[in-house]
Chains A and B, each alone.
Chain A
């Protein structure tokens, strides 16, 4: 996810200052041993997501055939099929590579979307207070009252499964925590003397909010974005595992769903373990980075 930051930053942002700042933060995170391991793993996942489909030996739904031209079902791992094949003769290793891209797409897009939404709501709610705050926070309360997984299942069964819908649902789930945390942060920031100074100097309300307050909550937003990538990947996996993911693409959760339904837990460990392991490894590496980043933001954590 951090690499994605660099990618989007170098691709889209004009200011080189932003890239330098992010690179600096990553450098500091890399000095924590957990942070370094986490960053390396995430980098590896990002590389796989980008080049994986190009180097995958087979397509995500392509049946492998044996010498006799028959579908090669449930082959154990071998030289030509590194992680064996499924009941439909699909190469597990290739699916794993394709699935990495889907997982990261959902994770990164929904994390960015939810952080933008959550940060904006938190900023506006905390800064303006009054009825604006009341309305936005009651909306947040309602969002907290909706159980995500059941809600997503109902919506998907109504609208039909698709990747954009999954991303939208995950985004709608993730923003709520960000908005509460950012709001709390804004509430303390807006009483600081430098805000009075800005106001005395004649800054407009929106100027104060976006030029003076927003930059100070951004580090926290980045933290929630990282946590959001983790959440997004997990939620997509959960939905796909339940059979509510996009049937036209393959993800780690989708692989587990097919394996589970085909009874591979009994017969083909090589089909079940790789996607689950990839998912766990990804989630733990994001955890390691966020942990290091949190310590960076809040040095008290080290003593607590």
Chain B
């Protein structure tokens, strides 16, 4: 148990170190911005005195170290300031966009894991057969196809040509409900979700399928399966038992997938006009809305790091051997 605790502590310290480093890089980047955020915000008619007053108000004439400390504190307490354009607190905007992104990713990940696990279990069981070989190569090839082009094609065919699905967006115009949870429980939302969700799945299903296939190969040789066979269980039932034992490594895979998707779906959000955090980052950068851009970037980085941390921790619990590395 001691090894595990040391492992967790080490991982936690590493997480904090990386978060602080990423924030520092972000601080430097935004300090390098051409001109300064004021030039976007302040009218050219302002007198020098007014500019100076505004600078003092925002703490921009403080020494750099003080600005850095204040910036760190604000970021780590999720106080991202006010949007230049929407004039509302950035944290509220970011939370809303994160929920939207989550509404696309979570169903895709759940479905990918369930269907991918079924497929992987079948593949592992039928190892060496001709179909198995073909499916594996197909999955590997699928993983390398750029999913944003798949998204464009799908949208062209099913939305513009056939008219089966709405052409992007999260809800129809005027279909927005009072709260996020009411919105995602409407059929209208479901209709908008199907295409982007399917496109995400074409890519995401490959990882659980290939992973489960290889763990199934290991489990397949276990003695307990022979005992089940001796008991006279059908091959199908035996496969269920084997699959159950091969599922554990999938848990860490889910965490990695979730973290990756929160930054990887920027392109799909643009193509499907999905009002998520990635699309918000792109439009904030185009509008020079720096507080929003900064917050979106930080939140995306943080989510990846936290999910990777969760994956490491789960891995430590599932396979205690790694803790002693």
| Chain A residues at the B interface, C-beta cutoff of 8 Å | 34, 138, 141-142, 144-151, 153-155, 157-158, 230, 234, 237-238, 241-243, 256, 260, 265-266, 269, 272-273, 276-277, 279-280, 283-284, 286-288, 291, 304
Contacts and interface: CB of A to CB of B under 8 A. Distances in A.
A241 B18 contact: no
A272 B264 contact: no
A154 B29 contact: yes
Q: 9 closest A-B pairs (Cβ-Cβ)?
A: A147-B263, A276-B149, A145-B18, A287-B144, A157-B285, A142-B21, A150-B297, A265-B156, A266-B160
Given A151-B297, A260-B271, A287 B152 contact: no
A237 B144 CA distance: 14
A187 to B, nearest CB: 12
Nearest to A145: B18
A155 B140 CA distance: 32
Interface residues of B, number: 47
Interface string B145-162: 110110011011000100
Nearest to A257: B270
A184 to B, nearest CB: 12
B296 A150 contact: yes
B282 interface: yes
Contact of B270 (A230, A242, A265): A242
Given A141-B14, A147-B301, A304-B214, A153 B281 contact: yes
Contact of B145 (A34, A148, A284): A284
B300 interface: yes
Contacts of B296: 150
Interface of B: 14, 17-19, 21-22, 25-26, 29-30, 32-34, 137, 140-141, 144-146, 148-149, 152-153, 155-156, 160, 214, 217, 263-264, 266-267, 270-271, 278, 281-282, 285-286, 293, 296-297, 300-301, 304-305, 308
Contact of B282 (A34, A146, A155, A242): A242
A276 B300 CA distance: 27
A98 B128 CA distance: 44
24 contacts: A138-B17, A141-B18, A142-B17, A145-B21, A145-B22, A149-B263, A149-B267, A150-B263, A150-B266, A150-B297, A153-B266, A153-B285, A157-B286, A158-B29, A238-B148, A241-B148, A242-B266, A260-B271, A265-B160, A266-B156, A266-B160, A276-B146, A283-B145, A291-B140
B267 A154 contact: no
B18 A142 contact: yes
A287 to B, nearest CB: 4
B152 A147 contact: no
A147 B304 contact: yes
A191 to B, nearest CB: 16
B297 A287 contact: no
Nearest to A287: B144
A209 B96 CA distance: 52
A103 to B, nearest CB: 12
B267 A265 contact: no
A158 B301 CA distance: 19
A146 B25 CA distance: 10
Given A145-B19, A150-B301, A158-B34, 18 more contacts: A141-B14, A142-B21, A142-B22, A144-B18, A145-B18, A145-B21, A145-B304, A149-B267, A150-B281, A150-B296, A153-B266, A153-B281, A265-B152, A265-B155, A276-B149, A283-B145, A284-B144, A288-B141
A280 to B, nearest CB: 5
A184 B159 CA distance: 48
Given A150-B266, A279-B149, A269 B156 contact: yes
Contacts of B305: 145
Given A149-B264, A154-B293, A276 B282 contact: no
Contacts of A234: 146
Nearest to A156: B285
A279 to B, nearest CB: 6
Given A149-B266, A238-B148, A154 B21 contact: no
A26 B297 CA distance: 42
Contacts of A265: 152, 155-156, 160
A237 B146 contact: yes
Contacts of B281: 150, 153
Contacts of A273: 153
Contacts of B300: 147, 150
A105 to B, nearest CB: 18
A242 B308 CA distance: 27
A276 B140 CA distance: 19
Contacts of A144: 18, 308
B19 A154 contact: no
Which of A147, A237, A272, A279 lies at the interface centre, i.e. has the most chain B CB atoms within 10 A of its CB?
A: A147
